[in-house]
Amino acid sequence: MKASDFQALFESAPGLYLVLTPALTIVAVSDAYLKATMTKREEILGRGLFEVFPDNPDDPAATGVRNLRASLDRVLTHRAPDTMAVQKYDIRRPESEGGGFEERYWSPVNSPVLGADGKVAYIIHRVEDVTAFVHLKQSGSEQYRITEELRSRAAEMEAEVFRRAQQIQEVNNQLRTELEARKLAEEALRDSEERFRAVAETATDAIVAADKSGHITYCNPGAERIFGYAARDAIGRPLTLLMPQRFHDAHRQGLARFLTTGEARVVGRTVELVGQRKDGTEFPLELSLASWKVGGDTFFAGILRDITERKRAEELLRASEERFHLMVTHVEDYAIFMLDVEGNVATWNAGAERIKGYRADEIIGRHFSCFYVSYDVQAGKPEQLLQEAVRRGRCEDEGWRVRKDGSQFWANTVITALRDQHRTLLGFTKVTRDITERTRLEQEIQQHSVALEAANKELDAFSYSVAHDLRAPLRAIDGFSRILLEDHAPTLAPEAQHYLNVVRKNSQRMGLLIDDLLAFSRLSRQLLNKQPVRPADLVRQCVDELRAEQQGRRVEIAIGDLPACQADPALLKHVWMNLMSNALKYTRKQEMAVIEVGSREQSGACVYFVKDNGVGFDMQYADKLFGVFQRLHRPEDYEGTGVGLAIVQRVIHRHGGRVWAEAAVNQGATFYFTFEGATPNA
Amino acid sequence: MREKTLEILLVEDNPDDVELTLHAFQKHNLANHVHVVRDGAEALDFLFCTGAYKDRRIENSPSLVLLDLKLPKVDGLEVLRRMKEDPRTQMIPVVVLTSSREDRDIMESYQLGVNSYIVKPVNFEQFTEAVRQIKLYWLLMNEPPPIPREPK
């Protein structure tokens, strides 16, 4: 048969059929149904069931819609047919026949049509119209009058059947609902038990359950780990197993009190207690304890956390906070205090009291603008500083501040905005330093440097004039003595000639002294031009330039490792030049001069040295060695002006270093020097 | 044409130094060709033919100027600066002959274009030797600049 044939067959079937989608939309209907419900196919297809068949609004007791919906829901849920009790379900009368509702009674069966996926695809709603039967029973028609008694009894029975059917349906519904609820509850319980077990087994905290006698009924692995007992050893033993002896009585009393009076001191809250491990060691723990009753019996479960680390951290934090607090409180050099959001003083330390003159009880609560001079307050400076601190997090200021006694001081202040983790402004910290003294010292230093600069200029002018003017007369003395000796020798007695030579020798020596003195002064004034220097290069240049001194002598110069350094190369060369030329000069009388140049490490610095095997000197005069014009040898033995080592010392001092010597008479001398920027090879 | 071939202008205020210098030149037969001025102002008058020297012709410039730095009125560095600024005198070799060994004097002299800087030795033999070297180098070995033409 074709599909259209099936449709025709269905529509003309004698039964009353309605086909619904799971959404309760009418998709097919039999002619008999249309006739019984006084509807037309085209008017109801595609429309909702309850839109087409609402309850009779004039019947306040109407239950048709509610019951039918419940039945259809069951079909959808259980995918099984649902037979309904006889229902009063009134039908809307067409307007053409006067409108309103017509009383009807029905006996419905709802059956699911399952799709290929096993889900409900359609619901077939089949009804029997039992109105005539019910009416008959109620109307008392002629036909049945004779058997009225019988019929009335039958009618009573029918009505009774109808009522009973309704009641049974109600009970059934209730039972069904209850069953479903219980099933859900069981599932939920099973789920929650599994969840609890999973949580308990993996928790790092100890979870311990006990019965009302205080005996352990459950221990999780966390508890085994923390207390050191295997679960099988702990289960069945009293809870006192897990606590030190001195708490046993209190525990027992607390348990008894709770069981008899319900007074809970521990149950239902989190408390800190002392636990005891299997090995006897005690540790702080945090306990959250719950209790419940099953069938009149009380049970307990506790979550215990080992808080040793937390306690230690808390203690450290507390100690550090206390130290910090003590430090802030007792700091005297700085005023450290806090302001609330409005700028009122909230805390006060010793430094604040010392610097500003207020005691804590005099100032706390007052606005901090009282620390500012009147013109700053009028200009709104305190508020501006707070606003800047709010905007930038911090603001620094320098200026005059007022003490309690009205005196002023020059202050440096830093205001920092304090915020919590949500960036909410909590207030400010303010640190004030009295820098009046520092400012005064700075000004003093400034004055000193001006004076020093003036002195330097004077010295400069002095040296300049020495350079020009002191040498000219010497030149004249020497020059004219020479001319006398040369041009007038025949008329001069030999003694006179000798004296003239003495005059010349001395004027020349004075020329040398002036030259060296000027050189020394120049080295002191010259600006340092520090750069990387290789001392080995400088030493080789010096040896080269001192070649004349080595002429006709046996000289052995050994140059060792000389690490590079940071120095002014021109000035440093003077150092090497003077030391090398001294070494050559004072070994002059040795058959073989041996000079060693090298370096060694001393307390992380590089110390350079020049060692010779020359005449040496007596160490008791070592302190005179580096003075200007100081000499330890007679000029006829070793020439010189006594300025060379003074130059060495001046240059080394200018490099932030020091120079010293070790020597003994006729056993040679070693000169050492080191300075900032002289570092050993890495 | 040059009136005199070898002329040295000695700018020196110290009479003893003048005498010693001339003595040294005498030894080398140069004394007759040395003209001495005693301060910076006089040196400028001589070089630029002004004041007492207004009748002198500027083309007859000296072959060499020996210049002390510390001078009355106008100091040696100023004389040097004026000479090197003026095209008529800038080519005359200038040797600074001074007592000063100060860096700033040496530096400034060279910056102004000095041709040589010699520190007068205290020792007379060295001084005479210096004068002899100056003569040898600047007057004999050195090729002087060509004679400037008349300005148009």
Residue A147 lies in a domain: no
Residues A444 and A386 in one domain: no
Per-residue pLDDT, A151: 55
Per-residue pLDDT, A543: 92
Cross-chain residue pair A511–B122, CB shorter than 8 Å: yes
- Average pLDDT of chain A, as a whole number: 85
Beta strands in A307-407 (DSSP E): 334-339, 394-402
Residues of B in contact with A469 (CB under 8 A): 70, 99
Q: Computed from CA positions of residues A96, A97, A99, A104, in that sequence, does the dihedral angle turn out positive or negative?
A: negative
CA neighbours within 13 Å on the CB side: how many for A336?
Answer: 13
Beta strands in B56-151 (DSSP E): 64-67, 94-98, 116-119
Q: With contact defined as beta carbons under 8 Å apart, do A563 and A681 qualify?
A: yes
Per-residue pLDDT, A578: 93
Residues A374 and A472 in one domain: no
Per-residue pLDDT, A1: 61
Residue A591 has pLDDT above 80, yes or no: yes
For residue range A241-270, list pLDDT tens digits in order. 999 999 888 888 888 888 888 777 777 777
Nearest to B38 by CA among B90, B83, B78, B73: B73
The tokens describing A43, both together, are: 């008017």
Residue in the block written with tokens 């500012």: A372
AA identity, residue A1: M
Residue A406 has pLDDT above 80, yes or no: yes
| Highest-confidence segment of A160-164, A182-186, A264-268 | A182-186
Per-residue pLDDT, A567: 93
Q: How far apart (Å, rounded) are the C-alpha atoms in residues A129 and A135? A: 11
Residues of B in contact with A474 (CB under 8 A): 122
- A interface with B, Cβ–Cβ < 8 A, is 463-464, 467-469, 471-476, 478-483, 504, 507-508, 510-511, 515, 518, 522, 526
The tokens describing A473, both together, are: 């007369």
Cross-chain residue pair B100–A464, CB shorter than 8 Å: yes
Tell me how far CA of residue A127 lies from CA of A22, A162, B101, in angstroms.
18, 16, 136
Q: With contact defined as beta carbons under 8 Å apart, do A429 and A418 qualify?
A: yes
Residues A335 and A417 in one domain: yes
For residue range A305-345, list pLDDT tens digits in order. 888 888 888 888 888 888 888 777 777 788 899 999 999 99
Residues A623 and A669 in one domain: yes
Q: How close does chain B come to A462, measured CA to CA in Å?
A: 12
Per-residue pLDDT, A513: 83
Q: How many Cβ pairs within 8 Å bridge chains A and B?
A: 66
Residues A362 and A463 in one domain: no
Nearest to A652 by CA among A539, A557, A528, A536: A528
AA identity, residue A258: F
Q: How far apart (Å, rounded) are the C-alpha atoms in residues A442 and B39? A: 48
Per-residue pLDDT, A404: 92
Q: With contact defined as beta carbons under 8 Å apart, do B139 and B64 qualify?
A: yes
Per-residue pLDDT, A623: 83
Closest Cβ opposite residue B14 in set A463, A472, A507: A472
Share of chain A above pLDDT 70, in %: 95
The tokens describing A39, both together, are: 């509807």
Mean pLDDT by 10 residues, chain B (152 residues): 64 89 81 86 92 86 89 90 91 88 86 90 84 80 65 48
Residue A561 lies in a domain: yes
Burial of A41 (0-12, 13-18, 19+ CB in 10 A): middle
CB atoms within 10 A of CB A352: 26
Q: With contact defined as beta carbons under 8 Å apart, do A582 and A649 qualify?
A: no
The pLDDT of A568-580, averaged and rounded, is 93
Q: How far apart (Å, rounded) are the C-alpha atoms in residues A625 and A633? A: 11
B108 touches chain A (CB under 8 A): no
Per-residue pLDDT, B4: 47
- Record the pTM: 0.43
Confidence of residue A5 (pLDDT cuts 50, 70, 90): confident
Residues of B in contact with A506 (CB under 8 A): none
| Highest-confidence segment of A88-92, A302-306, A653-657 | A653-657
Q: Computed from CA positions of residues A182, A184, A188, A191, in that sequence, does the dihedral angle turn out positive or negative?
A: positive
B75 touches chain A (CB under 8 A): no
Q: How far apart (Å, rounded) are the C-alpha atoms in residues A25 and A14? A: 22
Residues of B in contact with A482 (CB under 8 A): 124-125
Per-residue pLDDT, A670: 95
Q: How far apart (Å, rounded) are the C-alpha atoms in residues B42 and A122? A: 135
Q: Which listed CATH number (3.30.70.20, 3.30.420.140, 3.40.50.2300, 3.40.720.10) goes with B8-138?
A: 3.40.50.2300
Mutation target to probe the B interface, by most B beta carbons within 10 A, among A457, A468, A522 is A468
Per-residue pLDDT, B2: 43
The answer for B 52-71 residues in CB contact with A (under 8 A) is 69-70
Cross-chain residue pair A479–B127, CB shorter than 8 Å: yes
Q: With contact defined as beta carbons under 8 Å apart, do A90 and A101 qualify?
A: yes
Residues A460 and A399 in one domain: no
Closest Cβ opposite residue B20 in set A476, A507, A526: A476
Residues 6+ apart with CB under 8 A from A245: none
| Highest-confidence segment of A52-56, A294-298, A661-665 | A661-665
Cross-chain residue pair B100–A511, CB shorter than 8 Å: no
Q: How close does chain B come to A566, measured CA to CA in Å?
A: 24
Nearest to B101 by CA among A466, A344, A168, A170: A466
Per-residue pLDDT, B112: 93
AA identity, residue A77: T
User: ∠ at Cα A276 (A270, A279), nearest 5°?
Assistant: 155
The tokens describing A670, both together, are: 């070693």
Give the residue from A98, A115, A139 where a domain finishes. A139
Q: H/E element holding A412? A: strand A408-419
Residues of A in contact with B103 (CB under 8 A): 522, 526
- Kindly provide the b/e burial profile for residues A50-79, where b requires at least 16 CB atoms within 10 angstroms of the residue's own CB: eebbebbeeeeebebbebbebbbebbbeee
Q: At A29, which CATH number?
A: 3.30.450.20
Residue A168 has pLDDT above 60, yes or no: yes
Cross-chain residue pair A476–B98, CB shorter than 8 Å: no
Give the residue from A391, A419, A434 where a domain finishes. A434
What is the tally of structural domains in chain A? 5
Q: How far apart (Å, rounded) are the C-alpha atoms in residues A453 and A469? A: 24
Task: Note the helical H segments in A414-493.
Answer: 436-465, 471-487
Q: What is the DSSP string of A135-167?
A: HHHHHT-GGGTTTHHHHHHHHHHHHHHHHHHHH
B140 touches chain A (CB under 8 A): no
Residues A21 and A102 in one domain: yes
Residues A421 and A449 in one domain: no
Cα Rg of chain B, angstroms: 15
Closest Cβ opposite residue B20 in set A463, A479, A510: A479
User: ∠ at Cα A635 (A632, A638), nearest 5°?
Assistant: 75
Residues of A in contact with B70 (CB under 8 A): 468-469
- DSSP letter at A422? T
Q: H/E element holding A585? A: helix A569-585
AA identity, residue B20: L
- DSSP letter at B1? -
Q: At A572, which CATH number?
A: 3.30.565.10
Q: How close does chain A come to B143, measured CA to CA in Å?
A: 32
Q: How far apart (Å, rounded) are the C-alpha atoms in residues B42 and B98? A: 18
CB atoms within 10 A of CB A162: 18
Residues A670 and A565 in one domain: yes
Residues A535 and A566 in one domain: yes
Give the residue from A449, A483, A513 where a domain finishes. A513
Cross-chain residue pair A508–B122, CB shorter than 8 Å: yes
Cross-chain residue pair A476–B122, CB shorter than 8 Å: no
Q: With contact defined as beta carbons under 8 Å apart, do A585 and A591 qualify?
A: no
Q: Which residues pair with A601 in a beta bridge?
A: A606
Tell me how far CA of residue B87 lies from CA of B105, B116, B147, B148, in angstroms.
24, 19, 12, 10
Cross-chain residue pair B20–A480, CB shorter than 8 Å: yes
Q: Whole domain around residue A236: which residue ranges?
A: 203-312
Is the reported ipTM for this assembly greater than 0.95? Answer: no
- What strands, in cross-sheet order, belong to the sheet with A593-602? A555-559, A593-602, A605-612, A669-674, A658-663
AA identity, residue A145: R
Q: How close does chain A come to B124, measured CA to CA in Å?
A: 5
Q: H/E element holding A596? A: strand A593-602
The pLDDT of A76-92, averaged and rounded, is 83
Per-residue pLDDT, A154: 61
Cα–chain center distance at A466: 68
Per-residue pLDDT, A669: 93
The tokens describing A342, both together, are: 């409005």
* Helix (H/G/I), strand (E/B), else coil: A485: helix
For residue range A536-551, list pLDDT tens digits in order. 999 999 999 998 888 8
Tell which wins on pLDDT, A106 or A296. A106
* Helix (H/G/I), strand (E/B), else coil: A291: strand
Burial of A204 (0-12, 13-18, 19+ CB in 10 A): exposed
Residues A637 and A548 in one domain: yes
Nearest to A381 by CA among A399, A407, A354, A361: A399
Residues of A in contact with B121 (CB under 8 A): 475, 511
Cross-chain residue pair B127–A474, CB shorter than 8 Å: no
Q: How far apart (Å, rounded) are the C-alpha atoms in residues A342 and A372? A: 16
Closest Cβ opposite residue B99 in set A467, A480, A504: A467
Residues of A in contact with B16 (CB under 8 A): 472-473, 475-476, 479-480
Per-residue pLDDT, A455: 82
Beta strands in A8-160 (DSSP E): 16-20, 26-29, 82-83, 87-88, 91-92, 101-102, 105-114, 120-129
Confidence of residue A629 (pLDDT cuts 50, 70, 90): confident
* Helix (H/G/I), strand (E/B), else coil: A56: coil
For residue range A507-563, list pLDDT tens digits in order. 888 888 888 888 888 787 778 888 999 999 999 999 999 988 888 899 999 999 999
Residues 6+ apart with CB under 8 A from A465: none
The pLDDT of A124-151, averaged and rounded, is 66
Burial of A378 (0-12, 13-18, 19+ CB in 10 A): exposed
Residues A483 and A565 in one domain: no
Give the start-to-end residue ranges of the domains of chain B.
8-138
Closest Cβ opposite residue A518 in set B69, B101, B125: B101
Per-residue pLDDT, A652: 93
Residue A505 lies in a domain: yes
Q: How far apart (Å, rounded) are the C-alpha atoms in residues A86 and A109? A: 10
